[in-house]
Amino acid sequence: MREEDSNWFAKWEDELPSPEELMPLSQSLITPDLALAFDIRNHHYQSTPPPPPPQLPQSTDLSSQPNSSAEFDSTELGGGGGVGLGGGGLGSDEPARTLKRPRLVWTPQLHKRFVDAVAHLGIKNAVPKTIMQLMSVDGLTRENVASHLQKYRLYLKRMQGMSNNGSGGVGGNNSPAALSALGVDPVTDHLFASSPVPAHFLHPSRTNSDHFMPFVPVVSLQHHHPMPVVGPGQGLHHLPQQQFRHYGTSPSNGQFEHPFIRQSHPVHGSNGSVISPHVENLDTATPTNGRKVLTLFPTGDD
DNA sequence: GTGGCAATAT
DNA sequence: CATATTGCCA
């Protein structure tokens, strides 16, 4: 049984404050509804062929998630990266009920949550479903986690597998580059390598010795102040001093389209540089082609 | 049904 | 290229 687990688990859960306090990630994936709210078809200048929605769904249910930030008060962090609906392929038009989720972009912060969850659950209980639930990131699906988990495990394995032999050259330190250089696995890890991986993760079963669970809260939440929904002219600012690790798509084109909040029209003049906070980070997610990308944004926590 | 993994697709 | 998706299996 998982009595022992329940022990800390329950405790941990017990520690969980109310849903309000919960939600380390200030927000999660942008829900279609939310996106819609932002999108409010104002921008037609974007080459976005609106897909014909067969029917007008009466959005009876919203995200159905209690924590779903019904109000986007704290969401946006300027460019930090927000959730982005890319090109707006579908965002531009009415949300067809069967909205398909945009590609989830695993940002380091999001991955951190993932790792935290796994670390706290223990390899033992770290299964997609549990992880997903613990992350409480609405919008995250089991498949999302499962897929990522797969890669994550490979990464850990690789890490453990090697460790001896620095290949003579790399100074005994295992740098991600070195790892991949070993060619242990073709699938390299970018995100993983950048994330702080808890020291343990290698022994699934521990007779009965429980693993010490440092109560590292799954992240320290960071409260943002209610920011107006980025009105026109209200440039985004506020870039957390956080560094961004991006690997990303190649911004081959000099055209960046901010995936997140594109406040309708740039009210010409008000603020010349409407949004486009810092393309440097966003560019990575730049869907060269207008692919919709859903990304969580960094919670300034690390 | 859920989870893990390889292959494959986008 | 990073994810998602699928197939197959435990």
Q: How many residues does chain A have?
A: 302
Calculate the angstrom distance between C1' of C4 and CA of A80: 25
Calculate the angstrom distance between C1' of C7 and CA of A274: 47
Taking the mean position of all CA atoms in its chain, how far away is CA A135? 11
- The one-letter code for the residue type at A284 is T
Calculate the angstrom distance between C1' of B2 and CA of A10: 23
Residue with smallest Cα–C1' gap to B5: A150
Give pLDDT tens digits along chain A (302 positions). 544 444 444 445 444 444 444 444 444 444 454 445 444 444 444 444 444 444 444 444 433 344 433 333 333 333 333 343 333 444 444 455 456 667 777 877 778 888 888 888 777 778 888 888 888 777 788 888 898 888 888 887 777 666 655 444 444 444 444 444 444 555 556 667 666 666 655 555 444 444 444 444 444 334 444 444 443 434 334 333 333 333 333 333 333 333 333 333 334 433 333 433 333 333 444 444 455 666 555 444 55
Could you check: is the Cβ of residue A144 within 7 Å of any atom of nucleic acid strand C?
yes
pLDDT of residue A151: 87
pLDDT of residue A121: 76
Task: Return the sign of the alpha-carbon dihedral for residues A189, A194, A199, A200.
Answer: negative
Residues facing residue A293 across a β-bridge: A103
The phi-psi region of residue A219 (left if phi > 0; otherwise alpha if psi is between -120 and 50; otherwise beta) is left
Residues facing residue A105 across a β-bridge: A295
pTM across the whole model = 0.51
Q: Which nucleotides of chain C have an atom under 7 angstroms from any protein CB?
A: 1-6
* A195/A129 Cα distance (integer angstroms): 22
| HSE, side-chain direction, 13 A CA sphere, residue A13 | 11
Q: Which nucleotides of chain B have an atom under 7 angstroms from any protein CB?
A: 2-6
Residue with smallest Cα–C1' gap to B2: A129
